[in-house]
Structure 1
Amino acid sequence: MKKAFLAIAAIALAAGSQAQDSAQAKIPFGGMDLSWINGQNRQKNFPLVVTDKNGETILTGVVLLDGYFNYNFARPKDNTQTISAATGRSNEFTLNQASIGIESNYKNIIGRLWLQTGNSLNIVQEADGSVGRGRNTSTGNLKFIREAAAGYHFNVDHGLNVEMGIFMSYIGLESYVTQENWSYQRSLVCDFTPFYFQGARLQYYPSKKFKTELWLLNGWQSYNSWSKNIGFGNSNYFRPSENVQLVANFYYGNDSKSGTPELSKVRRFHHDNSIVARYHKKDPSQGGITQAAFSLNTHYGFQSGEGVKRKDNYMAGTSLAHRLWFNHNKLAWTVRGGWLTNPGGYLAFIPAAAGNIPNDYDIAIASGKDLKVGELSTTLDIMPNDFVTFRFEYLHRKANMPYFAGAGGTTSQTGFNNDPIDPAWKADLRTSENRVIVGVNFRL
């Protein structure tokens, strides 16, 4: 009798183990450590977790703080950092982003709410011109929401998710959250592309190693639609192992001001692809270099239609970064180089307010001249644990025309935006810039 009982117990345990293994096998990218990837959260531990009596996770809380001191060697008199969505101020201490959020996948229900504030809102959310279309809309009621989505997970193959809300952008390798990137200042190709979308997405995992997404979007980094048409997107991730990630993203939409005959039918296409590969890894308890990896992110896009010619309105560029981890993965060193051209300037940052830009820039962009910008940076990260990063970065960028802020600044002759502007004053623009960024990121 005892032997029979033990046999039945063994069968039950084996069945339970097989069921657990089967469930584990169905988790997309299950068992992979992706914390080393450029553009991914490097956390491995998440202490703010609420579970039910069976130990199943109900909610995961997140707290994020990001601050920096950005020293611009030009010392612009208005302390304004231009041509950047990662840093908006220079030569002063700045709270870039403070964010809290909750996420849940409890019983297949998907819920996500992130709230945010900080200087990054001035650069990214408040620049959204789509909220000027119609009434009952503004950035005021949306800019404090970093991400908010609701949906459902269907147990199809390795997963099928349907969600609607405000999402972080899928375009580009690097993240809106600087803690997730290998460098503080995002690469040019990623800084010139969207950081958020409002719309709906379908995520499908046909296998453990592959994900594809279909997107319906209001527009290119916009809360509202620019026209009567919505945008379409597609994102594809293939991870044959935890050491390699291959990505291909696509976007197609109408993102010009509707009602203007020469622009209302202009269509925008954008594509980016990337490879991130880790070619060296060893036990972090050992000395020396513990990890080594590189990332390559390439972009191409254009606008065309209604007299807008593709050859005069396109964007192309690439960014190559290499990273080494050492001292038990508590230190990391990144070197990055990048290049971008954007004839017509339809994605480029505007270096100063309209009317205050020196004529050589205005004429060049209006005539379709190629805006070409290159960059080099080196970054040292000190990471005592999963939850804090101290970052020291040097950045050099150079353009083929005056594009970066000089000592005279880009606001007014006094540097204050509430002083009357001298009609003869023009923004002080230079062809190059050099900066040192000291950043601190906390994430729990």
Structure 2
Amino acid sequence: MKKKMAGAFALGLSVCISTYTFGQDAVKPKIPFDGMDLTWINGQNRQKNFPLTVTDKNGETILTGVALVDGYFNYNFARPKDNTQTISAATGRSNEFTLNQASIGIESNYKNVIGRLWLQTGSMTHVVQEADGSVARGRNTGTGNLKFIREAAAGYHFNVNYGLNVEMGIFMSYIGLESYVLQENWSYQRSMVCDFTPFYFQGARAQWYPTKNYKTELWLLNGWQSYNSWSRNVGIGNSNYWRPNENLQLVANFYYGNDSKSGTTELSKVRRFHHDNSIVARYYKSKANGKGISQAAFSLNTHYGFQSGEGVKAKNNYMAGTSLAHRLWFNNNKLAWTVRGDVITNPGGYLAFSPAVSGAIPNDYETAIADGKDLRAMQLSTTFDVMPNDHVTFRFEYLHRNANIPYFAGPGGTTSQTGFNTDPIDPTWKADLRKSENRVIVAVNFRL
């Protein structure tokens, strides 16, 4: 699963950079990406105004507060009887109103000391954090209260070049273009390449800005979207952002680690590698106010990853995919229209969501994978946003998904023959899976 922040940053990269890099020196600090408007970028916060800011008597920011509420109604045309939306970390329920995420947070870098705490709850918390299998290793673990922490970190900013930040804690993931926070993305349902990759990490990172236009990060991590470790080794990550100007962003991310249980007694020795890169480019920006097109941009995000070792072969356990999106803004950026298409190939179901819990007999997806069929899927979506100001977004989205094997929930659902998980499962029942899916999502989010 992803973050996808993202590379997703808590207040958007533009705000994080400005808050992380102001020092207390008498000399004017060097600020990376200074003067750039980055609010249009896919996966970044679009806010320019932050009203929950506290300053000292000299006007220096002490801390910035944030409040976020995101809800949706996801209409699945298949109308699964259990109202469970499958193959999605963005939407876990269908045909009912859902509070997806409620989050509050504070961030500060007062006197170069970095502090960040975000709390969260909502449906997406259950979908993402509850799937963390690493907490089964040993004792004194568990998602417990950790699942209610979206991000928490402490560190220090050093006035080296354009900034050097060293931090430790729980972070939003740097893998992928799209964010864990859906308000920051151009579409509500994430691309499959981002939805299948991590949304959070626990570990430490160093962010270095050697020049005004470039940032590189080194990560040491417990594992691939895990609070705890699967092996005796830490995972290693690297992220790179280059912005030659405010109209172009180039990103390359890498990960290497041991991240799955192997056998019944051994710690993981299976190696995982993942790489994604992206291009986000704004090719038009209007110089005049008006109701016509105010901006136009596209994003391209490509992923490749695999696992191998102990009999696991990379050729049978890899993920390759890409997502291409195009967005037009209208009426001084108060309206926007996005179209996106993405494809994915996933032999062995590596990284893919499981569409249903195994029953007394294998479901059609399990049977197809066991027969050696590779999962191949595509997704098309169109999204219209109404954004009266920085703090609220009304979103309307239609999406179609298709796979070469039964993968999406049908009318019979994926829980039990009655649709309830408290009822005994009929030993002849199996999840109702179909090769295609059509949905309409109506969402609204608020952010200060």
Same fold flag (TM > 0.5): yes
Residues of 1 paired with 2:360 and 2:247: CA distance?
49
Match in the other structure for 2:334:
330
Match in the other structure for 1:220:
224
Match in the other structure for 1:163:
167
- Structure 1 segments, 4+ long, off by >3 Å, are 19-22, 258-263, 356-360
Is the CA contact 1:226–1:258 (under 8 Å) kept in the aligned structure 2?
no
Is the CA contact 2:230–2:267 (under 8 Å) kept in the aligned structure 1?
no
Match in the other structure for 2:96:
92
Match in the other structure for 1:296:
300
Match in the other structure for 2:13:
none
Is the CA contact 1:263–1:306 (under 8 Å) kept in the aligned structure 2?
no
Match in the other structure for 1:16:
none
Match in the other structure for 2:10:
none
Residues of 1 paired with 2:364 and 2:337: CA distance?
39
Residue 350 in 1 paired to residue 354 in 2? yes
1:162-217 per-residue CA deviation (whole Å, 9 max, x = no partner) reads 00000000000000000000000000000000000000000000001000000000
- Give the secondary structure class of the aligned counterpart of 2:365: helix
1:293-318 per-residue CA deviation (whole Å, 9 max, x = no partner) reads 00000000001111111110000000
Match in the other structure for 2:28:
23
Residues of 2 paired with 1:273 and 1:355: CA distance?
38
Residues of 2 paired with 1:59 and 1:413: CA distance?
52
Structure 2 counterpart of 1:212, one-letter code: T
The alpha-carbon deviation at position 288 of structure 1 amounts to 1.1
Which residue of the other structure, out of 34, 38, 47, is the alignment partner of 2:38?
34
Residues of 2 paired with 1:56 and 1:48: CA distance?
14
Match in the other structure for 2:416:
412
1:365-387 per-residue CA deviation (whole Å, 9 max, x = no partner) reads 23442100001000000000000
Residue 369 in 1 paired to residue 373 in 2? yes
Residues of 2 paired with 1:53 and 1:183: CA distance?
41
1:390-433 per-residue CA deviation (whole Å, 9 max, x = no partner) reads 00000000000000000000001110111111111100000000
Residues of 1 paired with 2:136 and 2:241: CA distance?
35
The alpha-carbon deviation at position 262 of structure 1 amounts to 8.1
Q: Give the alignment of 1:54-133 within 5 angstroms.
A: 54-133=58-137
1:225-252 per-residue CA deviation (whole Å, 9 max, x = no partner) reads 0111110000000000000000000000
Q: Alpha carbons of 1:284 and 1:201: their partners in 2 closer, same or farther (altered >3 Å)?
A: farther
Structure 2 counterpart of 1:417, one-letter code: N
Match in the other structure for 2:428:
424
Q: Alpha carbons of 1:115 and 1:123: their partners in 2 closer, same or farther (altered >3 Å)?
A: same
Q: Alpha carbons of 1:359 and 1:62: their partners in 2 closer, same or farther (altered >3 Å)?
A: closer
Q: Alpha carbons of 1:357 and 1:409: their partners in 2 closer, same or farther (altered >3 Å)?
A: farther
Match in the other structure for 1:394:
398
Q: Which runs of 5+ in 2 are unaligned?
A: 1-23
The alpha-carbon deviation at position 259 of structure 1 amounts to 5.9
Residues of 2 paired with 1:226 and 1:80: CA distance?
29
- Give the secondary structure class of the aligned counterpart of 1:90: coil
The alpha-carbon deviation at position 122 of structure 1 amounts to 1.1
Match in the other structure for 1:378:
382
Is the CA contact 1:356–1:427 (under 8 Å) kept in the aligned structure 2?
no
The alpha-carbon deviation at position 28 of structure 1 amounts to 1.2
Q: Alpha carbons of 1:357 and 1:44: their partners in 2 closer, same or farther (altered >3 Å)?
A: farther
Residues of 2 paired with 1:27 and 1:396: CA distance?
43
Q: Alpha carbons of 1:56 and 1:375: their partners in 2 closer, same or farther (altered >3 Å)?
A: same
1:78-137 per-residue CA deviation (whole Å, 9 max, x = no partner) reads 000000000000000000000000000111000000000000011100010100100001
Is the CA contact 1:320–1:338 (under 8 Å) kept in the aligned structure 2?
yes
Residue 318 in 1 paired to residue 308 in 2? no
- Give the secondary structure class of the aligned counterpart of 1:378: strand
Residues of 1 paired with 2:273 and 2:299: CA distance?
23
Query: Does 258-267 or 362-371 show the bigger shift?
Result: 258-267
Residue 247 in 1 paired to residue 251 in 2? yes
Q: Alpha carbons of 1:220 and 1:284: their partners in 2 closer, same or farther (altered >3 Å)?
A: farther
Residues of 2 paired with 1:45 and 1:86: CA distance?
26
The alpha-carbon deviation at position 364 of structure 1 amounts to 2.4
The alpha-carbon deviation at position 283 of structure 1 amounts to 3.2
Structure 2 counterpart of 1:65, one-letter code: V
1:45-101 per-residue CA deviation (whole Å, 9 max, x = no partner) reads 000000000000001000000000000000000000000000000000000000000
Match in the other structure for 1:142:
146
Structure 2 counterpart of 1:381, one-letter code: D
The alpha-carbon deviation at position 282 of structure 1 amounts to 1.3
- Give the secondary structure class of the aligned counterpart of 2:28: helix
Match in the other structure for 1:4:
none
Is the CA contact 1:227–1:258 (under 8 Å) kept in the aligned structure 2?
no
In the alignment of these two chains, the number of paired residues is: 425
Residues of 1 paired with 2:220 and 2:242: CA distance?
22
The alpha-carbon deviation at position 256 of structure 1 amounts to 1.1
Residues of 1 paired with 2:366 and 2:382: CA distance?
32
Structure 2 counterpart of 1:23, one-letter code: K
Residue 268 in 1 paired to residue 254 in 2? no
Is the CA contact 1:167–1:197 (under 8 Å) kept in the aligned structure 2?
yes
Structure 1 counterpart of 2:100, one-letter code: N
Q: Identity percentage over the alignment?
A: 84
Q: Alpha carbons of 1:356 and 1:270: their partners in 2 closer, same or farther (altered >3 Å)?
A: farther
Q: Structure with the greater relative contact order (CA < 8 A, sep ≥ 6): 1 or 2?
A: 2
Residue 196 in 1 paired to residue 200 in 2? yes
Normalising by the residue count of structure 2, what TM-score does the alignment of the two structures yield? 0.93
Which residue of the other structure, out of 178, 185, 190, is the alignment partner of 1:186?
190
Structure 2 counterpart of 1:373, one-letter code: A
- Give the secondary structure class of the aligned counterpart of 1:247: strand
Is the CA contact 1:38–1:180 (under 8 Å) kept in the aligned structure 2?
yes
Structure 2 counterpart of 1:155, one-letter code: N
The alpha-carbon deviation at position 359 of structure 1 amounts to 4.4
